[in-house]
């Protein structure tokens, strides 16, 4: 026989109303109480009635989830995080992929709204006009991994990429690198993203000149990433380190270095943002900034499930990143580790 809300309340040592607030998001519940209720629900295999919640909240229920690509490592982890959170809340999730195309994203959004989802979690493709009417209509929207500056009041859950790039840039400069390439910048005429801005600001703060020829634009696509990496490493033999802004450009940098017979890290150090599985399997393993897609998805789902009055925030929720140091970086040729450390101390 299926567990009841009364049994969950008894197991958690709370009232039935408290259990109802946990699963509906309607009303304040402390973090400790919420976790106790969810743990009791998992233990009893309790499944809230979606039909009953729909009658109470007057919506069809469920969440829409839009990501660019379900096969991309960070996106896949984000989806898993949303699904894990939704399962704990008794919500179902309608998933679709936009392929980063704003027109396709707009079609998906309209279809999800027509199907009556209670809210939409999205990694937005970039066009704020897709989202303005959705927000005006009162549909719950939460952005994940990417925010739109034009819509500052839409809640967003992001990783602190600027902090991660800052730590990585400081690490490379501390090793003695001065000719550091940034691979994966935004294109000409477009504003720099958080990663590029952090790279530039960190070098300037450390009084290391920014060589504009070493800030190379590349789209997050394999062909574009490879072309950008090849053009950089063929044109600038003086580059001692490459900071790749994502795992696709990081992969391209490794491939091109091998094709040019550049030894990593003896000839060029390579590091990247996103600690994907293959980074640790490289020879040598790649230094990387680790970001948790699962945590982004989980927190985005939690945010979408809250009451509107508890959802507003003065800015995006920033989740921490971690610098994972491996064997792909070392001081430039002709410079010892001791010399690099002395320079860093100064």
* pLDDT exceeds 50 at position 63: yes
Residue 125 resides in a domain: yes
Q: Tell me the Ramachandran region of residue 60: left when phi exceeds 0, alpha when psi lies from -120 to 50, beta otherwise.
A: alpha
Are 304 and 338 in a shared domain? no
Q: Give the H or E element holding residue 298.
A: helix 293-305
Class of residue 212 by CB neighbours under 10 A (exposed 0-12, middle 13-18, buried 19+): exposed
Mean pLDDT of the chain: 88
- The answer to whether 70 and 76 are in contact (CB under 8 A) is yes
CATH number at residue 209: 3.40.50.2300
Give the percent of the chain with pLDDT over 90. 66
* pLDDT exceeds 80 at position 204: yes
Predicted pLDDT at 32: 87
Greater pLDDT, 317 or 6: 317
Residue 142 resides in a domain: yes
Domain holding 236, by residue range, is 161-286+326-345
Are 172 and 269 in a shared domain? yes
Query: 149 in helix, strand or coil?
Result: coil
Q: Which of 136-140, 228-232, 264-268, 283-287 has the lowest mean pLDDT?
A: 136-140
Q: Which two tokens stand for residue 78?
A: 């984000």
Distance CA 212, CA 194 (A): 17
Distance CA 169, CA 153 (A): 31
Residue 54 resides in a domain: no
Predicted pLDDT at 54: 46
pLDDT band at 57 (very low <50, low <70, confident <90, very high): very low
Distance CA 60, CA 141 (A): 16
Predicted pLDDT at 337: 42
Predicted pLDDT at 176: 97
Are 139 and 269 in a shared domain? no
**93: nearest Cα among 70, 69, 112:** 112
Residue 338 resides in a domain: yes
Predicted pLDDT at 46: 82
**21: nearest Cα among 66, 71, 56, 55:** 56
Predicted pLDDT at 1: 61
Distance CA 100, CA 66 (A): 10
Class of residue 283 by CB neighbours under 10 A (exposed 0-12, middle 13-18, buried 19+): exposed
Are 115 and 208 in a shared domain? no
Predicted pLDDT at 25: 62
Predicted pLDDT at 343: 42
Are 72 and 125 in a shared domain? yes
- The answer to whether 318 and 158 are in contact (CB under 8 A) is yes
Q: Domain count of the chain?
A: 3
Are 309 and 276 in a shared domain? no
Greater pLDDT, 199 or 343: 199
* pLDDT exceeds 80 at position 133: yes
Q: Which of 45-59, 223-237, 278-292 has the lowest mean pLDDT?
A: 45-59
Are 85 and 229 in a shared domain? no
Mean pLDDT of all residues in 178-199: 88
* pLDDT exceeds 90 at position 269: yes
Mean pLDDT of all residues in 195-217: 96
Are 254 and 309 in a shared domain? no
Q: Which two tokens stand for residue 325?
A: 């140091």
CATH number at residue 34: 1.10.260.40
In this structure, what are the phi and psi dihedrals at residue 313, rounded to the nearest 5 degrees? Answer: -145, 150
In 13-151, which ranges are continuous DSSP H helix? 16-24, 31-44, 50-57, 73-89, 102-114, 132-136
Class of residue 32 by CB neighbours under 10 A (exposed 0-12, middle 13-18, buried 19+): exposed
Q: What are the C-alpha distances in Å from 89 to residues 85, 96, 158, 318, 327?
A: 6, 20, 22, 23, 42
Predicted pLDDT at 339: 45
- The answer to whether 217 and 228 are in contact (CB under 8 A) is yes
List, as one string, the DSSP characters of 169-219. HHHHHHTT--SEEEEEEPPTTS---HHHHHHHHHHHHTT----GGGEEE--
Q: What are the C-alpha distances in Å from 321 to residues 8, 50, 108, 127?
A: 36, 36, 31, 27
Residue 144 resides in a domain: yes
Greater pLDDT, 209 or 15: 209
* pLDDT exceeds 90 at position 61: no
Are 95 and 147 in a shared domain? yes
Mean pLDDT of all residues in 46-67: 65
Are 32 and 149 in a shared domain? no
Q: Find which of 13-22, 31-40, 329-338 is predicted with most confidence, using mean pLDDT.
A: 31-40
pLDDT in tens, 320-331: 999 999 999 999
- The answer to whether 329 and 289 are in contact (CB under 8 A) is no
pLDDT in tens, 80-120: 999 999 998 888 999 999 999 999 999 999 999 888 898 99
Residue 55 resides in a domain: no
pLDDT in tens, 219-230: 878 899 999 999
Residue 136 resides in a domain: yes
Greater pLDDT, 190 or 105: 105
Q: Give the H or E element holding residue 287.
A: strand 287-290
Are 39 and 175 in a shared domain? no
Are 196 and 258 in a shared domain? yes
pLDDT in tens, 297-315: 999 999 998 755 555 556 7
Residue 53 resides in a domain: no
């Amino acid at each position: 026989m299926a567990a009841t809300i009364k049994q969950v309340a008894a197991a958690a040592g709370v009232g039935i109303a408290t259990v109802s607030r946990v699963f509906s998001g309607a009303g304040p519940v402390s973090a400790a109480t919420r976790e106790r209720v969810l743990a009791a629900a998992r233990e009893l295999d309790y499944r809230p009635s979606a039909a009953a919640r729909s009658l109470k909240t007057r919506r069809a229920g469920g969440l829409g989830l839009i990501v660019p690509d379900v096969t991309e490592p960070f996106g896949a982890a984000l989806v898993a995080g949303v699904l894990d959170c939704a399962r704990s809340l008794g919500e179902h999730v309608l998933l679709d992929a936009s392929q980063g195309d704003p027109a396709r994203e707009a079609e998906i959004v309209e279809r999800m709204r027509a199907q009556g989802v209670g809210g939409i979690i999205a990694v937005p493709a970039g066009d704020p006009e897709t989202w303005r009417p959705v927000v005006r209509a009162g549909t719950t929207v939460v952005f994940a991994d990417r925010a739109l500056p034009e819509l500052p009041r839409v809640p967003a859950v992001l990783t602190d990429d600027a902090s991660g790039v800052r730590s990585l840039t400081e690490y490379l400069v501390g090793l003695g690198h001065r000719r550091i390439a940034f691979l994966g910048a935004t294109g000409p005429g477009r504003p720099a993203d958080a990663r590029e801005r952090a790279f530039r600001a960190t070098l300037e703060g450390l009084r290391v000149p920014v060589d504009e020829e070493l800030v190379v634009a590349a789209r997050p696509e394999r062909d574009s990433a490879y072309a950008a990496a090849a053009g950089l490493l063929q044109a600038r033999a003086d580059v001692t380190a490459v900071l790749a802004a994502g795992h696709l450009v990081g992969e391209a940098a490794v491939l091109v270095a091998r094709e040019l017979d550049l030894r990593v890290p003896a000839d060029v150090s390579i590091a990247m943002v996103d600690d994907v599985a293959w980074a640790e399997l490289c020879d040598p393993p790649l230094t990387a900034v680790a970001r948790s897609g699962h945590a982004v998805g989980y927190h985005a789902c939690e945010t979408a499930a809250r009451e509107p009055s508890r959802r507003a925030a003065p800015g995006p929720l920033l989740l921490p990143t971690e610098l994972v140091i491996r064997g792909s970086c070392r001081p430039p040729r002709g410079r010892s580790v001791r010399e690099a450390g002395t320079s860093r101390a100064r």
